[in-house]
């Protein structure tokens, strides 16, 4: 199972790199990948919308059945299933296509966040200088500019804690990820490291280093153009480091630690990150509202109305800790779905409309009863009896 999922991730990596080879922009590559995915899922989207509109059409009959067999649950379920079969409706048809999109979302998340990990020991353990301490704010980088092509491997790592620096030298073999492949030194495309320490205060020592390549390179072909671009400068898109989250982009230092290259965070650079958050929430709300407007009065309307309120807030909150690349994928996908749903629903309305020149549907109206007058109940104001005289006798 893990190997199959890994193959899917490498497939996405190949597509991203292939697009980037033609159009050298990481953001554009993600946008075009989103469109490719949406085109592949188009038949499922059509099926989902048709299933929802079909459910809407049979609501009057469904309510009649529910009223008729209110006290007999077994008979109610039998009649409902019979109605579904007669009209070719699947009550779960609107949910199943949405569930099939989740693996794509998860796979893309894994591709965007994946890096190549390395681990090595510092032998012997190197004491930390008295003026330097390893903390959560410490950023460690290779002693030299990272590069993906023709770069020299390195074993010296420089760590910075609030302006104080210290160098550490790796003496043990370098292990690459789960493959446990041994290397003599860290590859030139490593951009960031974390220290493994022992002791505290004056007794603090660095015993090892965990280093990674830039985020997003883990499933890319290492000889590809996108891999090289991410190593060189993180490949920003409209001033946004797509591997970073809005939370990480709050400061240039945190963005630098995230992307590996020069920071694109803090100040005006945050506008792009939080604009994506707003677009993510806004487009999610509009897409839900678009479907809700077509499903008023259905059994799913209450659930859809709740989802229309909860999902935008939920996704907006999650996007604060999503890589900007994933938010970009979601926003582009939402815009695509909004347009797609508009044209599908318009085409369906046109197909359901009566043909030109066809007579309007006949609506039978119940006739109003004629006014009744006192007497024998005959209309017209006459009782049918002769009037009485002054004596009270009939004439």
| Signed CA dihedral, 230, 236, 240, 242: sign only | negative
Long-range interactions of 385-390: CB distance < 8 A, separation 24+: none
User: Residue 9: which residues within 8 A CB-CB, separation 6 or more?
Assistant: 107, 110, 111, 114, 219
Q: Would 363 be classed as within a structural domain?
A: no
pLDDT at 363: 47
pLDDT at 170: 84
Q: Are residues 13 and 99 in the same domain?
A: yes
In a 3-state reduction of DSSP, which class is residue 186? Answer: strand
Q: Can you tell me the mean pLDDT for 350-368?
A: 58
Q: Are residues 138 and 168 in the same domain?
A: yes
Q: Are residues 122 and 196 in the same domain?
A: yes
Q: Would 394 be classed as within a structural domain?
A: no
pLDDT-based confidence at residue 24 (cuts at 50, 70, 90): very high
Domain that holds residue 308: 2-111+270-351
228 pLDDT higher than 50? yes
Q: Which of 213, 245, 278 is the last residue of a domain?
A: 213
Q: Are residues 314 and 328 in the same domain?
A: yes
Q: Are residues 291 and 325 in the same domain?
A: yes
Higher pLDDT, 229 or 84: 229
How much is the pTM?
A: 0.73
Q: Are residues 124 and 74 in the same domain?
A: no
372 pLDDT higher than 80? no
Q: Are residues 19 and 86 in the same domain?
A: yes
378 pLDDT higher than 60? no
Q: Are residues 297 and 325 in the same domain?
A: yes
Residue 149 to residues 81, 119, 185, 366, Cα–Cα distance (Å) = 63, 21, 16, 85
Q: Would 227 be classed as within a structural domain?
A: no
Q: Would 234 be classed as within a structural domain?
A: no
78 pLDDT higher than 50? yes
Query: Sheet holding 117-127: strands in order across?
Result: 164-169, 156-161, 139-142, 192-198, 205-212, 117-127, 174-176, 181-183
Q: Which of 171, 187, 213 is the last residue of a domain?
A: 213
pLDDT-based confidence at residue 63 (cuts at 50, 70, 90): confident
Q: Are residues 82 and 140 in the same domain?
A: no
Peptide bond into 124 cis (omega under 30): yes
Q: Would 393 be classed as within a structural domain?
A: no
Q: Cα-atom radius of gyration of the chain, to the nearest Å?
A: 35
Q: Which of 182, 213, 244 is the last residue of a domain?
A: 213
Q: Would 8 be classed as within a structural domain?
A: yes
11 pLDDT higher than 80? yes
Q: Would 237 be classed as within a structural domain?
A: no
Nearest to 240 by CA among 333, 335, 322: 322
User: Residue 345: which residues within 8 A CB-CB, separation 6 or more?
Assistant: 49, 53, 294
Q: Are residues 124 and 98 in the same domain?
A: no
pLDDT at 278: 92
Nearest to 269 by CA among 281, 255, 259, 283: 255
Q: Are residues 329 and 281 in the same domain?
A: yes
- Render pLDDT for 88-135 as a digit per residue (tens, 0 to 9): 776 665 555 566 667 777 888 888 888 888 888 887 778 888 778 888
pLDDT-based confidence at residue 366 (cuts at 50, 70, 90): very low
Q: CA-to-CA distance for 310 and 314, rounded, in angstroms?
A: 6
Mean pLDDT of the chain: 77
Q: Would 366 be classed as within a structural domain?
A: no
**How many structural domains are present in the chain?**
2
Q: Are residues 102 and 19 in the same domain?
A: yes
pLDDT at 364: 46
CB atoms within 10 A of CB 5: 13
């Amino acid at each position: 199972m893990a190997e199959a999922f890994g193959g899917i991730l490498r497939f996405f990596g190949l597509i991203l790199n292939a697009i980037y080879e033609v159009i050298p922009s990481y953001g554009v590559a993600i946008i075009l990948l989103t469109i490719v995915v949406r085109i592949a899922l188009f038949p499922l989207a059509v099926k989902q919308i048709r299933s929802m509109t079909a459910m809407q059409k049979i609501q009057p009959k469904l309510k009649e059945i529910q009223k008729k067999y209110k006290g007999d649950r077994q008979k109610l379920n039998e009649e409902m299933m019979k109605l579904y079969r007669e009209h070719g409706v699947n009550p779960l048809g609107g949910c199943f296509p949405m569930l099939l999109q989740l693996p794509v979302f998860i796979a893309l998340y894994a591709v965007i966040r994946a890096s190549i990990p390395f681990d090595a020991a510092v032998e012997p353990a190197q004491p930390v200088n008295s003026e330097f301490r390893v903390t959560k704010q410490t950023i460690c980088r290779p002693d030299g500019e990272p590069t993906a092509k023709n770069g020299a491997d390195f074993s010296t790592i420089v760590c910075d804690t609030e302006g104080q620096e210290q160098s550490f030298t790796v003496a043990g073999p370098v292990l690459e990820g789960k493959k446990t492949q041994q290397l003599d030194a860290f590859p030139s495309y490593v951009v960031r490291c974390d220290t493994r320490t022992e002791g505290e205060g004056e007794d603090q020592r660095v015993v090892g280093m965990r280093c990674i390549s830039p985020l997003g390179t883990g499933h890319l072909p290492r000889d590809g153009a996108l891999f090289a671009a991410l190593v060189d400068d993180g490949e920003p898109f409209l001033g946004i480091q797509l591997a970073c989250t809005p939370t990480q982009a709050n400061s240039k230092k945190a963005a630098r630690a995230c992307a590996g290259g020069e920071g694109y965070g803090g100040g005006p650079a945050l506008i792009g990150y939080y604009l994506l958050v707003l677009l993510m929430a806004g487009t999610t709300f509009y897409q839900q509202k678009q479907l809700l407007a077509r499903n008023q009065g259905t059994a799913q309307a209450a659930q859809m109305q709740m989802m229309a309120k909860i999902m935008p807030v939920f996704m907006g909150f999650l996007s604060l800790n999503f890589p900007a690349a994933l938010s970009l994928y979601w926003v582009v996908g939402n815009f695509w779905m909004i347009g797609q749903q508009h044209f599908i629903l318009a085409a369906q309305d046109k197909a359901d409309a009566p043909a030109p020149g066809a007579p309007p549907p006949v609506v039978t109206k119940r006739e109003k009863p004629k006014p009744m007058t006192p007497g024998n109940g005959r209309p017209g104001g006459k009782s049918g009896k002769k009037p009485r005289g002054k004596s009270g006798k009939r004439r």
